[in-house]
């Protein structure tokens, strides 16, 4: 991911978290005063290698799989894909915004995701927070990350 893409600058008040990077094999941003394990808000950029780029899954199948996974972790929940945001990677990207149902084992997570496809991988950029208000407060920072993510 890092070799082909320019990592967005770290937003003010956030840090790139090395522990999160290692555990998720991704670029993980958390609020400056939080550790990865205690962060209730985060932003993640992750590439998922395609097992066989010629066979699939398609980007639509990958997104559907992500939606199913979110719902299984969050007691169902709903999502909307009614908005787009500009991206340095692919023009405008559709934003999938998730609201949790009633999770049993985990705290609720309000999340927004964007997805796009490269020849060898899928890339997702997402933000999560424990409440709608906190999600909405950091959404502009997320938009900045998406807008500045581009190829080298």
This prediction's pTM:
0.86
Which DSSP string do the residues of 100-133 spell out, in sequence order? ----SSS---EEEEEEEE-SSEEEEEEEEESSHH
27-31/42-49 β-pairing: antiparallel
Give the pLDDT confidence score for residue 97 in this predicted structure: 93
The list of the chain residues with pLDDT below 70 reads 1-3, 35, 53, 103
Query: Residues near 111 by Cβ (< 8 Å), separated by ≥ 6?
Result: 70, 97, 98, 126, 127, 128, 129, 135
pLDDT at 53: 66
């Amino acid at each position: 991911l890092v070799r082909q893409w320019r990592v967005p600058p770290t937003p003010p008040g956030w840090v790139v978290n090395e522990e999160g990077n290692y555990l998720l094999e991704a670029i993980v941003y958390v609020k400056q005063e939080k550790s990865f394990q205690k962060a209730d808000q985060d932003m993640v950029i992750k590439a998922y290698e395609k097992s066989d780029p010629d066979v699939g899954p398609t980007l639509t199948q990958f997104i559907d799989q992500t939606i199913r996974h979110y719902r299984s972790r969050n007691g169902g929940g709903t999502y909307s894909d009614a908005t787009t945001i500009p991206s340095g990677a692919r023009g405008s990207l559709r934003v999938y915004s998730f609201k949790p149902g009633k999770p049993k084992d985990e705290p609720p997570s309000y999340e927004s995701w964007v997805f796009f496809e490269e020849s060898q991988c899928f890339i997702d950029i997402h933000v999560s927070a424990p409440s709608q208000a906190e999600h909405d407060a950091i959404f502009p920072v997320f938009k900045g990350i998406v807008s500045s993510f581009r190829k080298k």
